[in-house]
Chains A and B, each alone.
Chain A
Amino acid sequence: MAARIDNEIENHYHLIPMDRTLADLSPNETGRIRAILGGDGLSQRLAEMGFTLGQLVRVVRFAPLGDPMQIRIRGFNVALRRNEARRIVLDLL
C-alpha cells in the first residue's frame, strides 16, 4: 500500500527518488523546506501556517500507531499525516 502511494507520488510530481521529504526524516532530524508539491488547498494551508521555503522543520515524533507525525516549525508543534508530509521536499542539513 505504502509503496503504491510512493510510486503514484513519484509519477505525479516527477520526483527524483533521491529527494528527501519530511516523511523520510527520523525523530529529531531537521531539514530545510525546498518545495511544497501540488497546488491544492493543502499546500496553501501549509504555507499560511508558516511552511515557507527555506524554513527549518524538525520531526519530533511519530504517533504510537505510526501515523500521524508531530513536527516543529517556527517554534510551534503541529501534527500531520505521512501522506501530507511526503509533499514537503527538504534539503537535509
Chain B
Amino acid sequence: MAVAAPAAPASLSAHSPVPHRAAERRYVVAVIGNPNTGKTTLFNALTGLTQHTGNYPGVTVESAIGEFTVEGTHFLAVDLPGTYSLAPRAPDEMIAVKVLLGLGEGVHAPDAILCVLDATNLDRNLYLLTQVLDIGRPVVVALTMTDLAHKQGIVIDFSELEKRLGVPVVPVQANRRIGLLAVRQALGRAVRDTHRPTSLIHFPAVFDSEIDSLLQSLPHTNGHPALPRFLLERLLIDAGGAIEAELAQQLGSGIRTQTEAARTRLAAAGAPVPQVEVDSRYHWITQVTEATIHQPLTISQTWTDRIDKVVTHKVWGLTVFLVAMAITFQSIFSWAAPVMDGIDALFKAIGTRVGDLLAEGPLRSLVVDGLIGGVGAVVVFVPQIAILFGLIALLEDSGYMARAAFLMDRVMASFGLSGRSFIPLLSSFACAVPGIMSTRSIDNRRDRITTILIAPLMSCSARLPVYVLLISAFIPVQTVWGIVGLQGLTLFAMYLIGLVIAPPIAFVLKRTALRGEPVPFLLELPPFKVPAWRVVLFRMYDRSWAFLRRAGTIILATTVLVWALSYYPNQNRVAQEFYARRATASSAEEIVHLNIEEAGARLRESFLGQAGRTIEPFVRPLGWDWKIGMATLASFPAREVIIAALGTIYNLGSDQDEGSIELREAMQAERWPDGRPVYTPLVALSIMVFFALCCQCGATLATIKRETGSWGYAAFTFTYMTSLAYLAALVVYQLGSRLV
C-alpha cells in the first residue's frame, strides 16, 4: 500500500500540510484511538488548561482542542472521536478520515498522528494502528494502561514492539502524569523527521492490482490520480460505506458499478471484501503479538468481573441502577433548585437596582425586563447542566455508563433506539437542555437525532408550576378507587403523557425520515476504574460554557423579541389615562394598585394582546378564551412564563407563583360574557395537556440547533410538538365536554 497521493482540485482531494508561517510554526497533531483507551485522560494531561471545545480547521464538527509546547516546538492537538477502525459507515465517521487525509476545502492533513493504544487489549488496538500507518503521516504511539497490563501478568517487549511497528512507542500513565514529556518529545522529533512510516500490511496481489486499475480509470491532474490510494482501498473494501456514498454522489453512480464488479472479481479470486482486509491485518497482528507479548494462560478474576457480577445482577444490578438514576434525577430536579432560585433572585435584585437608576420608559423596560431578565433566563440553566454533566462524566469515566446501557437496552430496543438513549431521556424529565446536550454519547447519528427529537416530550421541571397552579385551582380534592387522590392522579397522568407518546414517535421517525441501515448494538464494557477528577471538572465547565456561549445568545434574542411584542405599540392613550388616574389617587397603596392595573392594560393592548384576540377562533375549540391564548403565546420562549403572564393579565402584577392564592381566586372568578366560568376542570385539563406536549422553550430549540447543526431539526421539533399539543388539547376538550 502506498502513501496518500498529492493534491488535485476535486473536493475530496488532498491538501499539503499548513504552509510554514515564518518563525512561528504551529504543528497540528491529531489524537486517535479505540474508545476506553484513556485517550481523553491523556489528551487532558498533555494540553492542560489550554483545552477547549472547537473545530478542526476547515471541519464543522466540534472536538476537544488544546495546545502544548516542547523544546520550542508549538503544537495544536485535536482529539478525534474514539473508533475501532477507519472504515467509515456513516457520514459523521467520515470526518476523522477526511481530517487524517487532509481532504476537503481548507482541511490540511495533521503534521503528526498520536495513536493511543491500550496495552491490555493490544491486538484489537493494533488493528486501528495498522490503518493509521497506511495513511503515511508521521505517527507516535502512546501505550496506556501499562500498569493494569502489568497487574494482569501481561509482559510487553517494548523495544521489539517499536522495531516491528517502525514508529516510536511511548508507555504512559496519564493519571500519574508519567510519560507525558516523552510523548511530547517523540512528537517533536516526528514532525521534523523526513522519513515517513510505511505500511506494514500486505494485501494479496489481486487486491493491489484492482486498486491500480481503479486509480488508472479515475481522472488525473498533473499526472497524479485525483484521489489518494488510501481512499480507494477503503472504497473497495467498505461495501455500502460512507466513502462509496460520497464518491457516487461526486463522480456519478458509475463508480459504484465499477467497484461492485471489482468486488465480484476479488471474491472469485478468493479474496472477498471486507474479509481480505481483516484477515491480512489480523494475520500480521498475531505475528507481532506472539513476538512481543507474553500473556498468562489463565486470567484470574479481576475487580471488574467482581463488580460486574453485582451491577449486572437481576436483583442487585437493577437496584444499583435505580439508585444511580434516582440520584442523577434528584440532583438535577431538586439539588439544582436552590442555586437556580438564587440566580433568579440575584437577577431580580439587579433588575430592581438598575431599574431605580433609569427613568420610567421604553429604555428601562428593555434593560430590566428584556436584557437583565433575558440573561437571567439563560444563566438559570447552568446549575442543572453543570451537575448533570459532572454526574455523567463520573458514570462514563468509571465505566458504569456502558453497564447502564447494557441493562436498559432491551427496553429502548422495543421502539428502535438503544440503551445509550436512556440517560439523555431520563435527564430530560428534569430539563431537556442538558438532556439533549448529553446525547453526544450516542454513537449512531440517526439514533442520536431521534433521541434529540423526542427528548422535549419528557415532562420537564418547568412544566411542574403550570400543573401545580391548575391542579390546585380546578381539580377537585377527592379520592378515586378509595385510595388515590384525584389531584395526584392528574399530576401523574401529565408526566405519563410524554412518556406514552414518545415511543411511537421514535418508532415512526426511525421508519421514515431517519430510516437507514439497522444500527448494530455493539458496546464494549470497559474495565471499571476510579474516575479522573480532571475529566469530570473539565466536562462540567466545558458544557456549561458551551451552553452559555452558543445557546445563550439565541435565548437572549428571543426574550428581547417577546419583550418588544408585549411592550409595543407605544400606548399613549393607556399611559395618559393612568397618568390622570394617578394624579387623583389618594394613597400610596392606590398608586401601586394603579401601576399594576396599567401593566395589565398595556399588555392587553400590546402586539401580543392583539395576537391573542386574533387567535381566539383557534383556541376556542380547546375551551380557551383570548386571555389564555395570549398568556400561552407569551410563554412560547419559556413555558413557566405563563404564571407571570396570567398575573399581569388579571391585574395582579407579574410577581405571582404557582402557589399564589390571589391568582387562583382571580382565575376561578373569571367569567365568559354570559356568566359561565372560563376555567372548568376540563379547560384546566386541556391547558395542561397542551403544556405537557408543546415545545414552549427557546432554550431547547437553540440547543437542538446547536447539537444537530441545523435549524431544520429545531423547526421540525417545534412544528410537530405544537401540532401534537393542539390536537391533544382539542381531543381532551371536545371529547370531555361531550362526556361530561
Q: CB within 8 Å of B: which residues of A? A: 39-50, 52, 60-61, 63-68, 70, 74-81, 84
* Cross-chain contact A40 with B410 (CB below 8 angstroms): no
Residues of B within 8 A of A64 (CB): 312-314, 317-318, 407
Which of A42, A45, A77 touches B84 (beta carbons < 8 Å)? A45
A41→B520 contact, CB < 8 A? yes
When distances are taken between beta carbons in the complex, the residues of chain B under 8 Å from A42 are 518, 520, 522
Q: Of B119-127, B200-208, B466-474, which binds chain A? A: B119-127
Q: Which residues of B contact A84 (CB under 8 A)?
A: 520-522
Residue contact A67 to B525, C-beta cutoff 8 Å: no
- Does B575 make an interface contact (CB < 8 A)? no
**A49 and B522 contact, Cβ closer than 8 Å, known pairs A63-B410, A74-B123:** yes
Please name the residue on chain A nearest to B86 by beta carbon.
Answer: A48
What CA separation (Å) do A42 and B409 show in the bound complex?
18
Sample 13 A-B pairs with CB under 8 A, ordered by A number: A41-B89, A41-B240, A44-B89, A45-B520, A63-B410, A64-B317, A67-B409, A68-B409, A70-B406, A74-B123, A75-B295, A76-B524, A84-B522
Question: Top 7 nearest A-B pairs by Cβ distance?
Answer: A65-B410, A77-B525, A47-B278, A48-B85, A42-B520, A64-B314, A79-B523
- Cβ of A50: which chain B residues have Cβ within 8 Å of it? 123-124, 127, 282
Residues on B facing A (Cβ under 8 Å):
84-85, 87, 89, 120-121, 123-124, 127, 238-241, 274-275, 278-279, 282, 295, 299, 304, 308, 312-314, 317-318, 402, 405-407, 409-411, 413, 419, 517-518, 520-526
Q: Which residues of A contact B240 (CB under 8 A)?
A: 40-41
A44 in contact with B274 (CB, 8 Å): yes
Give the residues in chain B near A61, CB-CB below 8 Å.
Answer: 312
Interchain CA distance A1-B527 in the complex, whole Å: 35
- On whether A63 and B124 interact (CB within 8 A), knowing A40-B517, A45-B520, A77-B525, the answer reads no
Question: What residues on A are CB-neighbors of B282 within 8 Å?
Answer: 50, 52
B313 — which chain A residues lie within 8 A by C-beta? Answer: 64
Cα A74 to Cα B119 with chains together (Å): 13
Residue from A41, A45, A78, A84 with most neighbouring chain B CB atoms (10 Å): A41
A29 and B238 CA atoms in complex are apart in Å by: 33
Q: How far apart are the CA atoms of A81 and B522 in the complex, in Å?
A: 8
For residue B410, which residue of chain A has the nearest CB?
A: A65
- Evaluate contact between A74 and B121: CB separation under 8 angstroms: yes
Number of A-B residue pairs, CB cutoff 8 Å, is: 114
**CB of B320, distance to nearest CB on chain A (Å):** 11
A78–B524 CB distance below 8 A: yes
Contact indicator B406/A63 (Cβ below 8 Å)? yes
- The docked-state distance in angstroms from the alpha carbon of A76 to that of B524 is 8
Q: With A61-B312, A64-B318, A78-B525 given, is the CB distance from A49 to B124 under 8 Å? A: yes
Q: How far is the CA of A64 from the CA of B309 in the complex (A)?
A: 12
Q: Complex Cα distance A60/B403, Å?
A: 14
Are B299 and A75 in touch, CB under 8 angstroms? yes
How distant is A51 from chain B, measured CB to nearest CB, in Å? Answer: 9
Closest to A39 in B: B239
CB closest chain-B residue, reference A69: B406
Contacts of B121 in A (CB 8 A): 74-76
Contact B85 A80 (CB under 8 A): no
C-alpha spacing A60/B318, complex, angstroms: 18
